[in-house]
Amino acid sequence: DTGVSQDPRHKITKRGQNVTFRCDPISEHNRLYWYRQTLGQGPEFLTYFQNEAQLEKSRLLSDRFSAERPKGSFSTLEIQRTEQGDSAMYLCASSSSTGSYEQYFGPGTRLTVT
């Protein structure tokens, strides 16, 4: 069990640039979730996929954010025209849709927008 992995672990970018993060879930998990966490707060749900279908998106996910999971395995989260307010930890989690109740989280990608 290699766990959920995320890449990169840290990203520093200038305001207005586009960034893309990758998440590789646990291989047998068909659900994949994205969360965002700012300093001193708990994670906030952004979106989730079941296989390749994006089933729910939070209102926090503005038009500048897009997530994909084209083959139902890894997922990418892209932020276009980054703003300083996008600085946060972006967490990915995966789970099975039946049986197990746990979401397994990756280590996160810390984004700093300067």
Partner 1 sequence: DAKTTQPTSMDCAEGRAANLPCNHSTISGNEYVYWYRQIHSQGPQYIIHGLKNNETNEMASLIITEDRKSSTLILPHATLRDTAVYYCIVSRRGVDGGATNKLIFGTGTLLAVQP
Residues that bind partner 1 (CB under 8 A): 4, 31, 33, 35, 40-45, 48, 55-56, 91, 93, 95-108
Residue 1 beta carbon to partner 1: minimum distance, rounded to whole angstroms: 14
- By CB neighbour count within 10 A (0-12 exposed, 13-18 middle, 19+ buried), where does 110 fall? middle
CB nearer to partner 1: pick between 2 and 14: 2
The sign one gets for the Cα dihedral 81, 83, 86, 87 is positive
Residue 67 beta carbon to partner 1: minimum distance, rounded to whole angstroms: 14
Coil/strand/helix, residue 85: helix
CB 91 within 8 A of CB 43: yes
CB nearer to partner 1: pick between 49 and 113: 49
Residue 65 beta carbon to partner 1: minimum distance, rounded to whole angstroms: 16
CB nearer to partner 1: pick between 14 and 28: 28
Return the bridge partners of 50, or none: 31, 53
